[in-house]
Amino acid sequence: MSFTIYNTLSKQKELFKPIEEGKVKLYLCGPTVYGLLHIGNFRGPIFFNFARNWMEHIGYDVTFVYNYTDVDDKIINKAIDEGVEASEVSERYIAAFQEDYKRLGLRPHDHNPKVTEYMDEIVEYVQKLISEKKAYEVDGEVFYDIDSYNTYGQLSGMKLDELNAGQRVEVDERKKNPGDFVLWKPAKEGEPSWSSPWGEGRPGWHIECSAMIKSILGNSIDIHGGGIDLIFPHHENERAQGEGCTGCKYVNYWMHNNFINMKGEKMSKSLGNIIPARTFMDEYHPEVFKFLVLSSHYRSVLNVSDDKIEQTFSGLVRVYRALKVANDIVSNFETNDSAKVNKKFAESLKSLDKKIEKSVNDDFGTGELIASIYEAVRAFNTLGLEKKKKDVNSVPTANAFKEWVHKYGKLTALFDEDPAKVLSEINTILLKKKNIEASFVEELLAKRSQAREDKDWESADKVRDELHALGIDFQDTANGVEWSVKV
């Protein structure tokens, strides 16, 4: 059950040691729900879904918490623009997120707390920080005193003097230190608010996660995840609050996934290259999105380009075609009780298991996992079992391949759909990109079949060349002509 994690706090890989033997408490920062989440927002949910699954795979009992920030300036401003309650906005986009998450086939989290459900706990948390002289109140506003926490800046690598020198906004003279951050703020007219000892108001952003973690998981947790953009100030401030409140180590391992860039550029509104996750899934496919994310190490920048998407389509098709062949063999070939899995192939799968285990246990190296799946597909295809109908060992071998792929598919949330269905969906997507109607392809194939039946080989070859020029691959099988878009 041993594996290593790159800890953002220590800036190095560390051997994972749980707080409680055999158990993992995992918290991942969730979205502020004021709009549709873009593909970069989903890198964390996709990767940490795999990380949770892997830790369970090697024997840990994982409790996974993923929150919703459902009170925030952006939510309030959108509600004002629309003339509705802030809760209507937040609930709409929580539902949208859950729809996209389900479409990706990711496992539900153990807890999905909303900030508005934890106001009593947040107020209590702030009170404790004040009593511990880690926070102070001015005019109904409560600030965290960063000078009270002598390792502030350690997570992000920032120093207090650099933080103070880098203040761009007008300094709030009420603060003891310009870097002190808000724990509780007075409500403005018309905004959602809650009662507190300091008056009607609402929490600052950073206190929310700390309070929910303490309420659900306790004073200390094993792993806290999030995007690299959250290291400062969010996670830096969380750490200060958490340890200031309880006196315990807040998080043992901090994990941060990197950005997704579009064609070499960071996604931004000014560039107009922010793509909502559901738009990406509509244009391509949910499997393509997950495959893209897991093909790169979570700490590296993932650059999404046309070439990368094309490569992903190609890889995905390769795997699903092999699974379709395996399904056909299992469904149509005969076997008997004495049949066995091809020995050399079985040994290959065991060898790949070891490669995957070594790579994933080294800070979740998913790239090697994907590469190993390709190797298994190559080894299976090399056997040519679809041409060995009389070999009774074909069925158990095909079954072994299917079970092996599905084992890792369950961990990655990939390869769990009907191969024929996925391949058909991918064909439709690729045809649309080429601006070709499926009916036109069928017409050409029928024309070729008629020419062959008429022994008009010249015409048949002409249609064949036309199909290939369109990027259509096809082959004659016992069940008729099978075709696909070349990727």
- CA nearest 192: which of 93, 84, 97, 95? 84
Query: Which of the four pLDDT bands, split at 50, 70 and 90, describes residue 173?
Result: confident
Neighbouring C-beta atoms of residue 191, cutoff 10 Å = 17
Class of domain 4-257: alpha beta
Q: What is the mean pLDDT of residues 424-452?
A: 94
pLDDT band at 482 (very low <50, low <70, confident <90, very high): confident
pLDDT tops 80 at residue 161:
no
Q: Does position 388 have pLDDT exceeding 70, yes or no?
A: yes
**pLDDT value of position 163:** 62
**Least confident range of 168-172, 270-274, 291-295, 440-444:** 168-172
291-302, pLDDT tens digit by residue? Answer: 999 999 999 999
- 175 vs 136: CA distance, rounded Å: 9
Residue 115 and residue 165: Cα distance in Å, rounded?
33
Contact 318, 377 (CB under 8 A): yes
- Taking only the tens place, the pLDDT of each residue in 43-54 is 999 999 999 999
Q: Give the pLDDT confidence score for residue 164 in this predicted structure.
A: 56
Residue 257 predicted with pLDDT over 50: yes
Residue type, 237: N
What band does 305 get if pLDDT is binned at 50, 70 and 90? very high
Residues 6+ apart with CB under 8 A from 474: 445, 467, 481, 482, 483, 484
The pTM of the whole model exceeds 0.85 = yes
Q: At residue 114, what is the residue type?
A: K
Indicate if the pLDDT at residue 155 is higher than 50: yes
Mean pLDDT of 105-119: 98
Q: What is the 3-state secondary structure (H, E, C) of 207-248?
A: HHHHHHHHHHCCCCEEEEEEEHHHHHHHHHHHHHHHHHHHCC
Amino acid at 128: K
Contacts of 303 (CB under 8 A, 6+ apart): 260, 261, 262, 263, 264
pLDDT band for 237, please (50, 70, 90 cuts).
very high
Band (263; pLDDT cuts 50, 70, 90): confident
Which pLDDT does position 1 carry in this prediction?
76
- DSSP characters over 20-77: STTEEEEEE---B-SS--BTTTTHHHHHHHHHHHHHHHTT-EEEEEE-BB---HHHHH
pLDDT at 166: 46
